[in-house]
Amino acid sequence: MSENRGVLVFSEEYDLMLEMIGKGREIAKELQTELAVALVGSNVQKKASELIKYGADKVFLVDNPALERFQAERYLSVLHNLAVDYKPDILLIGSTKNGKALAARLATRLETGCIPDCTRLSVDKKGRLIGERITYGGNAIARVTFRSRPQIVTIPAKVFEKLEPRDRNGEITKLDVKIEDPQTEIVETKPLETSSRNIEEAEIVVSCGRGLEKKDDKILLERLAEILNAQVGNTRPLAEDRKWFTEWVGLSGHKVKPKLYIACGLSGIIQHVAGIRDSKIIVAINSDPEAPIFEVADYGVVGDLYDILPALTEALRKQLS
């Protein structure tokens, strides 16, 4: 039996941290242990009591001007210190690009395992964590468990729900941690043109693939999106091969889970499908009746997006008015 106890949650993305607290609460209850949160940053102390309202039993507050921006070695040293002193049994870390690198380095420093990008989490009879993750390019779900302690998993945004905040009792501990110097220097940061959260949080997404002949033809999607109050996305070839856009929807890009995903002129290669798998309803519009996207669609239309999209926009306009 290992001496590690408790669940520790961390993400540099505040919303994602709240979502993980929701899930962490459930796991802590099952294991009859406590849920702690690492609140790391500069000038963040005012958020500590809010984290308790969202479900934390304990907040480890590490507030230091050096932690204003995420820098791998600085954050790593904080989390490593916490893991050594507090000895959590389970660490839930937000699966952002920085969070994943952090989790991987922390797991290595602690000589333990890490299960990345878990979309489901449960506890087995022995009290071990079981994580489910998409693998083989979206062709399979792997169930993975631990043979080492602590158990570190990373969790993508929008997988779990945050709890309703309510008044609870909790303990806030302010910690002074020795912070390592960073080995890389931030030369420049600038915000993305479109925040990725826009498309990842959208309730409806209209998306196109190689069937789109010209960049400007995206207006056809935008017109439909306007009626549906939707976000517009695209596949990777339009971003990478044609360089029309800088972002895309798919396993290697934005993973979306809208209530409605309208896929226009995209064939539905497995990596794209893996990024839209959790959509509630998928509509496929493609001129090739053999396109694999129809296999994963709820509604399919065989036709040219240049004909169907304007007609659909018009039909919705009529039926919604």
Partner 1 sequence: MENAKKDRRTLCGHLRLNCLKICRYFISKRPFVIIVHQDKIFIGNNYNFAFPSPLAQNQKEVADLKTIIVCLKQAVDVSQLKIDPTTGQLLTASAPKKISDFDKNALEEAIRIKERIGAAEIYTVTVSSEDAKPVLREALAIGADKAYLVNDQSLQNVDTWATAYVLAETIKKIGKFDLILCGETSLDSFSGLVGSRLAELLNLPQINSARKISIENGNVTAERTLESAYETLKSKMPALITVTREINQPRIPSLMMIMKASRKEIVTWTTTDLNIQKEKIDEKVEVTEVLAPKTKRKKIMITGENTEEIAGKLAKALIQEGIIRR
Among the residue ranges 17-25, 30-38, 167-175, 252-260, the one whose residues contact partner 1 (CB under 8 A): 252-260
| Nearest Cα residue to 54 out of 17, 86, 107, 81 | 17
Given candidates 269, 276, 291, 305, which one binds partner 1 under the rule CB under 8 A? 269
| Binding status of residue 92 toward partner 1 by CB under 8 A | no
Please answer whether residues 78 and 56 qualify as being in contact, where contact means their C-beta atoms are separated by less than 8 angstroms.
no
Given candidates 197, 217, 223, 244, which one binds partner 1 under the rule CB under 8 A? 197
Given candidates 50, 180, 201, 247, which one binds partner 1 under the rule CB under 8 A? 247
| Nearest Cα residue to 281 out of 222, 213, 228, 209 | 228
For β-strands 204-208 and 260-264, DSSP reports them as parallel
| Binding status of residue 206 toward partner 1 by CB under 8 A | no
Closest to partner 1 by CB, 59 vs 225, is 225
Please answer whether residues 161 and 201 qualify as being in contact, where contact means their C-beta atoms are separated by less than 8 angstroms.
no
Smallest distance from partner 1 to CB 166, Å = 29
Please answer whether residues 285 and 306 qualify as being in contact, where contact means their C-beta atoms are separated by less than 8 angstroms.
no
Among the residue ranges 42-50, 90-98, 158-166, 170-178, the one whose residues contact partner 1 (CB under 8 A): 90-98
Given candidates 202, 276, 294, 305, which one binds partner 1 under the rule CB under 8 A? 294
Given candidates 161, 203, 213, 226, which one binds partner 1 under the rule CB under 8 A? 203
Among the residue ranges 21-29, 57-65, 110-118, 166-174, the one whose residues contact partner 1 (CB under 8 A): 110-118
C-alpha distances in angstroms, 242 versus 79, 174, 209, 238?
41, 51, 11, 5
84-113 b/e (C-beta count within 10 Å ≥ 16 → b) = eebebbbbbbbbbebbbebbbbbbeebebb
Span 218-237, contacts to partner 1 by CB under 8 A: 228-229, 236
C-alpha distances in angstroms, 315 versus 29, 59, 67?
50, 53, 53
Instruction: Provide Rg for the chain, Cα atoms.
Output: 22
Span 14-43, contacts to partner 1 by CB under 8 A: none
Given candidates 4, 33, 81, 96, which one binds partner 1 under the rule CB under 8 A? 96
Among the residue ranges 40-48, 54-62, 142-150, 208-216, the one whose residues contact partner 1 (CB under 8 A): 142-150
